[in-house]
Amino acid sequence: MTHFSERVEQVSISGIREVFEAAGEDAINLGLGQPDFSAPTHAREAAAEAIREGLADGYTENKGLTSLREAIADKHARDQGLDVDPGDVIATAGGSEALHIALEAHVDAGDEVIIPDPGFVSYDALTRLTGGTPVPVPLRDDLTIDPDAIEAAITDDTAAFVVNSPGNPTGAVSPPEDVREFARIADEHDVLCISDEVYEYTVFDGEFRSPLEFADSDNVVVVNSASKLYSMTGWRLGWVVSSTRRIERMLRVHQYAQACAAAPSQFAAEAALTGPQDQVGEMTESFERRRDIVVDGLTDIGLDVPTPGGAFYCMPEVPEGFVDECLDRGVIVVPGEAFGEHGKGYARLSYATDEDSLHEALDVMGEAYDAVV
């Protein structure tokens, strides 16, 4: 008899893809969660060189190339003044695998994982795949993650809470005092804080801080990735940073499920991390310009939208029927409920697309708004 795991039966294919498939080919896609830049040239060259020289043909160490893990440790020293041992890093197949091994290593069936709602779709799905129970907590009105809501949701069954700043789907950046709170909660309640930092470099207002800077215990796992930092989504290269004992547990999962991250991508990510960082600044400036176009445009239409401080998303409150009306008129936006129950009444827009398309999309969204109100 065919048998499917009950855990897998609880998870469905992401609603975002369904929206793309329903739209016409000429649609302007404000649904995609990836930067519209190429990977840095020096990263592509480093991978090409490694391939030409036959350096990327074999497995690497399970944790990843020592030189890559040193580059990741140096990154954390450079950006946050943190003293990370390269031994306490695992290179993963993107931030996605990083989240997976963090949850798999720390969550048992029946454990609870507190996640932001609306929040990145994988938090709920990966928690369910571990057998854990997602406990969604609503965001504040400005769409930042609320440390008080996290603390109030902690029970004896809580294994972890996930924070994500700058955030997907909101673009919200947690102020330093909240990040300090995340660390305090992890320390005081002795629960794990999984800090998803994949949008770290895309901050326009405020500043990026990591709970790893503030925590006194080892109750933090940092998840990061070259995907959004360097516009390298297709390279599938991310990492986790934590304490030796937590890394050792996560390695047990990674070792059997993945063996190692793809070797060419490890060479590319190392070059991205150690080479010139100019592209990071160019991308951030460009996203900030586009953020302003979109927020001003949506406000002119009459929509309420908290100004996102980072990433390349915004989340306006939208009237009923707006998302479908946009789709019918050729603009793809993602309904907020794809990111959790509290996302209902919102839409997520990604502005990682060219400015002409954004202006065109705003015109269409204006018409869609007029048609539904």
Report how far apart, in Å, the C-alpha atoms of 244 and of each of 104, 213, 247 are. 16, 17, 5
Least gap, CB of 144 to ligand PLP (angstroms): 14
Closer by beta carbon to ligand PLP, 95 or else 264: 95
Kindly report the number of other CB atoms within 10 A of residue 53's CB atom: 10
Find the shortest distance in angstroms from Cβ 339 to ligand PLP.
10
Site for ligand PLP (CB under 6 A): which residue of 158, 227, 231, 242?
227
Percent of the chain as helix, strand, coil, to the nearest 5: 45, 15, 40
Residue, CB closest to ligand PLP: 94
Minimum CB separation of residue 168 from ligand PLP in Å reads 4
Question: Is residue 118 a contact point for ligand PLP (CB under 6 A)?
Answer: no
- Does residue 309 contact residue 373 with C-beta atoms inside 8 Å? no
Return the residues of window 163-192 that contact ligand PLP according to CB under 6 A.
164, 168
H or E segment at 136? strand 133-138
Selected binder of ligand PLP within 68, 113, 120, 229 (CB under 6 A): 120
CA separation, residue 110 to residues 7, 11, 17, 190, 250 (Å): 12, 16, 30, 18, 19
Identify the bridge partners of residue 346 per DSSP, sorted by sequence position.
Answer: 317
Residue 233 lies near ligand PLP (rule: CB under 6 A): yes
Is the distance from CB of 133 to CB of 113 less than 8 angstroms?
yes
Q: Are strands 133-138 and 158-164 parallel, antiparallel or unpaired?
A: unpaired
The distance of closest approach from Cβ of residue 372 to ligand PLP in the complex, given in angstroms and rounded to an integer, is 28
Position 198 contacts ligand PLP (CB under 6 A): yes
Residues 65-104, one symbol each (x = binds ligand PLP by CB under 6 A, - = not), give -----------------------------xxx--------
Binding span for ligand PLP by CB under 6 A among 64-72, 179-187, 225-233, 339-347: 225-233
What is the Cβ-side half-sphere exposure of residue 244, based on CA atoms within 13 angstroms?
2
CA nearest to 200, candidates 49, 76, 40: 76
| Residue that is written with structure tokens 């709170």 in the block | 181
> Which one, 204 or 235, has the nearer CB to ligand PLP?
235
What amino acid is encoded at 116 in this protein? P
Query: Closest distance between ligand PLP and the C-beta of residue 304, in Å?
Result: 23
Shortest reach from residue 233's CB to ligand PLP, in Å:
5
105 contributes a contact to ligand PLP by CB under 6 A: no
Size of the residue set binding ligand PLP (CB under 6 A): 13
Among 40, 238, 297, 335, binds ligand PLP (CB under 6 A): 238
Q: Which residues contact 180 (CB under 8 A, 6 or more apart)?
A: 209, 214
Q: Which residues make up the interface to ligand PLP (CB under 6 A)?
A: 33, 94-96, 120, 164, 168, 196, 198, 225, 227, 233, 238
